[in-house]
Amino acid sequence: MKQKIMSGMRPTGKLHLGHYLGVIDNWVKLQDEYDCYFSVADWHALTTKYDKTETLRQDTIDVVMDWLACGIDPDKSTIYVQSLVPETAELHIYLSMITPQNWVERDPTLKDMAKILKTKEGMGTQVNYGLMGYPVLMTADILTFNADLVPVGIDQVAHVELTRDIARRFNNIYNTDFFVEPQPKLNNCSLICGLDGNKMGKSFNNDIKISDTEEITAKKVMTAITDRSRMRKDDPGHPDECEVAFKYWKIFGTENEVETVRCECEKGLRGCADCKRQLGKKINERMSDIRERRKYYEEHPEEVEKIIREGSEKARKDAQKILAEVRKLVRMY
Ligand code: TRP
Ligand code: SF4
């Protein structure tokens, strides 16, 4: 039997190259070797955005479209929407009963979130009960399928550790070895920064979307930060101090191309505008098949809907088997 993998993403809407290179491309490569479950975590979105649900449905669809475009294959992997698998909510209840309060209180991500919330104004500035339970909800996601491995970024490793702790505690309390203690599987992140040199993110307005057109991509790339000390195009440049453009070259160019860019830049034979024009073309080349596939799904929303429904039904059947066992172990009626 294949080992099981479970991972998820919040429905933040159209995804960017950071998601593609840092997360989805890793998932795509795992699909043959493992039995994969990929969840759009719409309940997780509610932990902070319970009062902004107007776009939740479309954001969920956009995430799935991006996954499909990038090569997540519904014939290999189970793609589902978290709230369409209510078994996860039931499991969340059982797990919440056995999770000591101080285990969630020491969660570092939660502390950060609480801090950010406090800096905002109006609604949603306090930490709600549901937000406190967010690491337990993520635990429920993982244990709903008794996954062996959880591909995550470094910021989520603490949550998988908590999942292991909760799984162990459940096993102890109910005198069983039913739950696997899952391992985090670090995404090998060729982390791409935003066009301004900060972390790429939707809210920073520094991202290139998977679904951006070639024209928009080309335009955005022209805004990428370069070697700030360079005034004229025949000044010798410093690729290693070229904050964004040269880093992108290293991700999207071949080794030869990167060396050519380096040489020409250092000798003052390459202007930054030309350099970025070429870079834009490289990025567009790399993304072209993906974008074509995305366009296909945009034109066939009924297929996406079908994939979501069928994936979620399949996930639900698998979850029901786990929950039947859990109910027995807890000795529910
Ligand atoms: N908590 C993750 C995040 O905010 C998303 C997530 C939800 C997840 N459920 C998961 C990740 C289960 C891995 C496994 O990024
Ligand atoms: Fe960066 Fe290219 Fe300009 Fe050199 S020529 S500083 S690599 S953008």
Summarised one tens digit per residue, pLDDT across range 307-332 is: 999 999 999 999 999 999 999 999 99
Query: For residue 263, how far is its CA from the centre of ligand 2 (angstroms)?
Result: 10
Domain spans in the chain, listed from the N-terminal domain onward: 4-193+301-330, 212-293
> How many residues would you count in the chain?
333
How many CB atoms are closer than 10 A to CB 235?
Answer: 14
Higher pLDDT, 235 or 11: 11
The mean per-residue pLDDT over the stretch 302-311 comes to 98
Label residues 25-62 b or e (16+ Cβ within 10 Å = b).
Answer: bbbbebbeebbbbbbbbbbbbbbbbeeeeeebeebbbb
Instruction: Give the C-alpha separation, 287 to 165, whole Å.
Output: 40
Query: For residue 7, how far is its CA from the centre of ligand 1 (angstroms)?
Result: 6
Instruction: Report the percent of the chain where pLDDT is more than 90.
Output: 85
| Ligand 1 pocket residue status of 152, Cβ below 6 Å | yes
Query: For residue 220, how far is its CA from the centre of ligand 2 (angstroms)?
Result: 16
Instruction: Give the C-alpha separation, 185 to 198, whole Å.
Output: 25
| Ligand 1 pocket residue status of 141, Cβ below 6 Å | yes
Return the ligand 1 atom nearest residue 141 CA.
12
Strand 78-81 and strand 149-152: the pairing is unpaired
Return the ligand 2 atom nearest residue 249 CA.
7
Long-range Cβ contacts of 200-209 (<8 Å, 24+ apart): 200/16, 200/17, 200/18, 201/16, 201/18, 202/12, 202/13, 202/16, 207/16, 207/17, 207/18, 208/16, 208/17, 208/283, 209/14, 209/15, 209/16, 209/17
pLDDT-wise least confident of 107-116, 222-231, 248-257, 272-281: 107-116
Q: Which ligand is nearest to the CA of 268?
A: 2
| Ligand 1 pocket residue status of 323, Cβ below 6 Å | no
What pLDDT shows up at residue 114? 76
Instruction: Give the C-alpha separation, 258 to 238, whole Å.
Output: 13
The mean per-residue pLDDT over the stretch 81-94 comes to 98
Rg over CA atoms, the chain: 22
Nearest to 184 by CA among 35, 7, 10: 7
Tokens standing for 126? Answer: 């306090």
Exposed, middle or buried, 318 (CB in 10 Å: 0-12/13-18/19+)? buried
Query: For residue 75, how far is its CA from the centre of ligand 1 (angstroms)?
Result: 22
**4-193+301-330: which CATH number, 2.60.40.3500, 3.40.50.12780, 3.30.70.1150, 3.40.50.620?**
3.40.50.620
Please state the CATH superfamily assignment of the domain spanning residues 212-293 in this structure: Tyrosyl-Transfer RNA Synthetase (1.10.240.10)
The mean per-residue pLDDT over the stretch 27-33 comes to 97
Nearest to 126 by CA among 137, 135, 117, 138: 117
Nearest CA to ligand 2 atom 8: 272
Give Cα 240 to chain centroid, integer Å.
Answer: 29
SS3 271: coil
Per-residue pLDDT of 220-257, as tens digits, reads 999 999 998 888 878 899 999 998 999 999 999 999 99
Return the ligand 2 atom nearest residue 230 CA.
6
Residues 152, 186: contact at Cβ < 8 Å?
A: yes
SS3 182: coil
Query: For residue 149, how far is its CA from the centre of ligand 1 (angstroms)?
Result: 13
Q: 150: part of which helix (H) or strand (E)?
A: strand 149-152
Nearest CA to ligand 1 atom 11: 8
pLDDT category at 111 given cuts 50, 70, 90 is: confident
| Ligand 1 pocket residue status of 142, Cβ below 6 Å | yes
Side chain identity at residue 251, one-letter code: I
- At residue 50, φ and ψ (nearest 5 deg) are -60, -20
Per-residue pLDDT of 183-199, as tens digits, reads 999 987 668 999 999 99
Nearest to 131 by CA among 50, 10, 201, 13: 50
Task: State the alpha helices, DSSP H only, in the chain.
Answer: 17-19, 25-30, 42-49, 56-70, 87-98, 101-105, 108-119, 129-132, 134-143, 157-173, 214-222, 245-252, 255-266, 272-299, 301-330
**Tokens 């599987």 sit on residue:** 185
Q: Which ligand is nearest to the CA of 233?
A: 2
Residues 60, 46: contact at Cβ < 8 Å?
A: no
